[in-house]
Amino acid sequence: MSLNIAPLIIAIDGPAGAGKGTLAKRLAARFKLAHLDSGLLYRAVGAKVLRNGGKPADHEAAEVAARTLAPADLEASELRDEVVSKAASVVAAQPQVRAALLDFQREFARHPPGGAAGAVIDGRDIGTVVCPGATIKLFITATNVRTGRGRIFRNAEITADVLLASACLPTMFQAIEIDGEPYWDGGYSGNPAVYPLIYRCNTPNILVVMLQPLTRQDPPTSAQAIRSRLTEFQFNSSFLREMRSIALAKQAIDAQWLPVGRLERRFRKLNFHLIETDDLLARMNVDKALNADLGFLLKLKEEGRTRAGTWLGKHFGQVGGESSIDLVKLFG
């Protein structure tokens, strides 16, 4: 099986002085990706107009400069000069220049220069305007403290506060306020929430990586072990209920001879996969989840890579064709 892999696009949004440029450069260097500092675009256009002997206020000259802009123009040594700064302010006010630079950024993302496997773009409105149609969709769950309901945050909504809320344990931290509402750990309402992958995505494959053991062979006997197991029940319950509903719905739909509705067709083509780590997690107690020691985290990272490699070696041929688990047997 061959996969058509689109360029990786990392969008870093934020105000000036937030450190997004430094982060973008480090990410690009670390993963050998092309880097675009969108804050330099208007400077590059202004510099090009001046270099061509034109005037920044000349709309036609400014648009020509913007339409013919090349990545190499962003490396010009004079971009920080005062005269270029003034020219940049003039061309930035022109709608045709903004439209041309939007096209430039999108083309940079679609076809990164230098044969790079992807691009890191930092600036304003990158994820919402420049590259809104992300092929990778992120869904982060946090639990509303007032209602007990999970809220799903999507790509453009995800902020540092959202990530903090999604892992906010109420016995350790105060609730994180988002849009005037307090939130706790998303595990209380979806761990993870699976339905967005069904209703808001088109992929025929859903791979679940378990971070809590589904089973423990030895029943707990000490007070601490019992509390730990109860915590696991608490965090697994929403996921198990959702997966049971999905398993029974898929079983009923697969039994139909002619599923006619869009939802039925969606369920019929769904393939589920699971990376289990019960043997590893069974040797760990819940307190390990609070271990932020670097050595421990690196060990988990390597273990995750090993498990993923093993799973791919065994089940890659089933991806796109069939489920690699018996959904009803496991969750029904």
Listed ranges 9-23, 27-41, 152-166, 268-282; the one with the highest mean pLDDT: 27-41
- Cis before residue 192, ω within 30 degrees of 0? yes
Lowest mean pLDDT: which of 51-60, 96-105, 198-207, 286-295? Answer: 286-295
Are 146 and 181 spatial neighbours (Cβ–Cβ below 8 Å)? yes
Q: How far apart are CA 37 and CA 121, in angstroms?
A: 6
Listed ranges 9-13, 59-63, 322-326; the one with the highest mean pLDDT: 59-63
Q: Is the pLDDT of residue 287 over 60?
A: no
Give the model's confidence band at 48: pLDDT under 50 very low, under 70 low, under 90 confident, else very high: very high
Give the model's confidence band at 34: pLDDT under 50 very low, under 70 low, under 90 confident, else very high: very high
Q: Is the pLDDT of residue 15 over 80?
A: no
pLDDT at 258: 67
Q: Dihedrals φ, ψ of 41, to 5°? A: -65, -45
Q: How far apart are CA 120 and CA 7, in angstroms?
A: 11
Mean pLDDT for the stretch of residues 270-278: 87
**Phi-psi domain of 40 (left: phi exceeds 0; alpha: psi -120 through 50; beta: other):** alpha
For 65-103, what is each residue's pLDDT tens digit?
Answer: 999 999 999 999 999 899 999 999 999 999 999 999 999
Tokens of 183: 């939130």
Q: Is the pLDDT of residue 1 over 50?
A: no
Q: What angle do helix axes 82-92 and 59-67 make, rounded to 10 degrees?
A: 100
* CA dihedral of residues 167, 168, 172, 177 (deg, nearest 10): 160
Listed ranges 14-28, 57-71, 254-268; the one with the highest mean pLDDT: 57-71
Q: Is the pLDDT of residue 16 over 80?
A: no
Of 254, 241, 277, whose CA–CA distance to 326 is shortest?
A: 254
Are 120 and 24 spatial neighbours (Cβ–Cβ below 8 Å)? yes
Taking residue 109's Cβ as centre, other Cβ atoms within 10 Å add up to: 23
- Which residue is listed with tokens 């929430």? 193
Half-sphere exposure of residue 171: CA atoms within 13 angstroms, side-chain side? 2
Q: How far apart are CA 154 and CA 133, in angstroms?
A: 12
Are 43 and 62 spatial neighbours (Cβ–Cβ below 8 Å)? no
Mean pLDDT for the stretch of residues 312-332: 89
DSSP state of 71: G
DSSP state of 64: H
